[in-house]
Structure 1
Amino acid sequence: MISRVAVVPHPPLLVPELVGGAVAETQAVRAACLAAARDLAAHDLDWTAVAADPTGPRVLENVAGSFLGFGVDVPVSLSAEPSSVEPAMPLPALVAGWLREHAGARSVRVHLVPPDLPTADCVALGAELGASGNRALLVLGDGSHRHGEQAVGRPDDRAGSFDDGVRAALVHADAEALKALDPVVADELGAAGRAAWQVLAGVPGPWRCTRSEFSAPFGVGYHVAVWEA
């Protein structure tokens, strides 16, 4: 059963080659994500991952891809010896592969769910993953992209309280608080991580949080946390 979880965002800026001269400005988020991923790899070299993407539901494993669609051909793979290439690998899977490689893990099996997956279905998937026999879960998802003047689109005063609620839920390993996130509000605020966090809420516990960080340096909320059983 799953006994360690790493929660991370999945922005392209985690990859140094994609940010040009902004490597220093993005270093703090990158370092936090890599620390969480290395914690997960120290627990188990084979990961299960979950993230929301419009191409879901589907599962990706043992394939290679590239960040070429984001400006630079940075190859990644979901396993040490991929059997095929996924030409249009979705961003969350690319980031999962990049973190796998840099954390020294052996493989990651990525479950992509629709961004609008209802809460009950998210929780049911979490229960299923928790009973699968896997030990390490990577949860990928961004917070609201409507923080402050750098917001994508327009700022929204609700972004702060929304991500404060997510952060508190992660800090306290509070599955019920994650289940209570409103999918409609999350969508209005551009919080791409809502479905993945609610999958986490369905994974059987109890849990405690051993690492938690939050930042919104570019108008997007980035949550990083580690839970252990």
Structure 2
Amino acid sequence: MLVAAAVCPCPPLLVPEVAAGAASELDAAREACDEAIGAVLAAGPDLLWVIGEGPRPGVHRPGSRGSFRPFGVDVDVCLGAPDDDSADDSAEVALPPSLSVGAWLLTRAGWTGEVRGYELAPGGTAFDTMDGAWRLGEGRTGKERVGFLVMGDGTACRTVKAPGYLDERAEGVDARIAEALRTCDRDGYLAQLDAGLAAELKISGRAPWQLLSAAWAADHDDDKGTSRLLYEDAPYGVGYFVASWT
């Protein structure tokens, strides 16, 4: 059963060494991430999945490695400790930036339990989402209590200096995303978020949020649980959200 989930943004700038002199600008986001992840860990999961978009869809086993060297800093991360099956090849498996940031956040939180990564293609279909939710569910993993750390950003078009320049639709879309995260996606906005619109607005959280929505609905059909939006802002013209579902 999916017992708790944390939704966090995934800019490498969350890592202070990457942000350098601007690190303090995301202090509030980091603190919110710490709170959301703390709620997941407090729920006592037997297994924690870190979920984010990337170019090579599939599962990353414990010990998979990521690096922030492409962003100019000598900082490497590891997704938990290697298991017996991944000890020989984990160094060759590169986590995408989204999962690397997730691994960094888990290390920061002191998580030492079992963890795996799930990399999703940005333009995935509803079938992919449902299939992924099943694969990450109790029946597939054999774990009774499962937690999610869901990594993704909103629109990157909030200002003229944003990575995608200014798009007048962006603020409204981010507001709908924030409300969906605040309410466990009760109205289904995340589940129905269009892939074409997400690509136009450079949203990196669509597929991970849809997987979360599908998995949560499957396990919490009658009682959606408690959801909190802990952070919502658009520094650098990109929508960042932190939410906690328990």
Could you state the TM-score of these two structures normalised by the residue count of structure 2?
A: 0.85
* Alignment equivalent of 1:93, drawn from 93, 99, 108: 99
Q: Assess if the C-alpha contact under 8 Å between 2:57 and 2:121 holds in 1.
A: yes
Task: Rate the CA distance shift 1:159–1:96 in 2: closer, same or farther, 3 A.
Answer: same
Shift of 1:44: 3.2
Contact 1:36 1:226 in 2 (8 A): yes
- The worse-fitting range, judged by mean Cα deviation, of 192-201 and 76-85 is 76-85
Residue 56 of structure 1 is matched in structure 2 by 57
2:227 aligned to 209, 221, 225, which one?
Answer: 209
Q: Partners in 1 of 2:59 and 2:116 — Cα distance?
A: 11
Mapped partners of 2:231, 2:127: distance in 1: 27
Where do residues 1-229 of structure 1 align in structure 2 (5 Å cutoff)? 1-44=1-44, 46-80=47-81, 83=87, 84-86=90-92, 88-106=94-112, 107-131=114-138, 132=141, 133=143, 134-175=145-186, 176-203=188-215, 204=218, 205=220, 206-228=224-246
1:128 Cα offset (Å):
3.5
Letter of the aligned partner of 1:227 in structure 2?
A: W
Alpha-carbon offset, residue 211 of structure 1: 4.1
Amino acid at match of 2:225: W
**Alignment length (residue pairs):** 228
Partners of 2:229 and 2:155 lie apart in 1 by: 21
2-structure distance, mates of 1:3, 1:105: 16
Q: What is the identity percentage for the equivalent residue pairs of Structure 1 and Structure 2?
A: 36
Q: Which amino acid aligns with 1:5?
A: A
- Once the two structures are superposed, residues 75-100 of structure 1 have per-residue CA deviations (whole angstroms, 9 ceiling, x without a partner) of 21111457331464310121121011
Give the Cα–Cα distance (whole angstroms) in 2 for the partners of residues 56 and 43 of structure 1: 28
Distance in 2, Cα, partners of 1:8 & 1:34: 10
For the structure 1 residues 60 and 188, does the alpha-carbon distance in structure 2 shift closer, same or farther, using more than 3 Å as the test? farther
SS at match of 1:48: strand
CA deviations on 1:181-203 (whole Å, 9 max, x unpaired) are 11111111000100111001111
- Unpaired runs of 5+ residues, structure 2, are none
User: 1:122-175 CA deviation, whole Å, 9 max, x = no partner?
Assistant: 133224423343421111111110011331132101111111111111111125
**Does structure 2 retain, via aligned residues, the 8 Å contact 1:123–1:200?**
no
TM-score of the superposed pair, with normalisation by structure 1: 0.91
Structure 2 residue matching 1:65: 3-state secondary structure: strand
Offset at 1:109? 0.5
Aligned partners of 1:124, 1:224: CA distance in 2, in Å?
Answer: 25
Inter-partner Cα distance in structure 2 for 1:135 and 1:207? 15
Distance 2:26 2:228 in 1: 23
Q: Equivalents in 2 of 1:80, 1:197: separation in Å?
A: 26
Using a 3 Å threshold, how does the CA distance of structure 1 residues 124 and 15 change in structure 2: closer, same or farther?
same
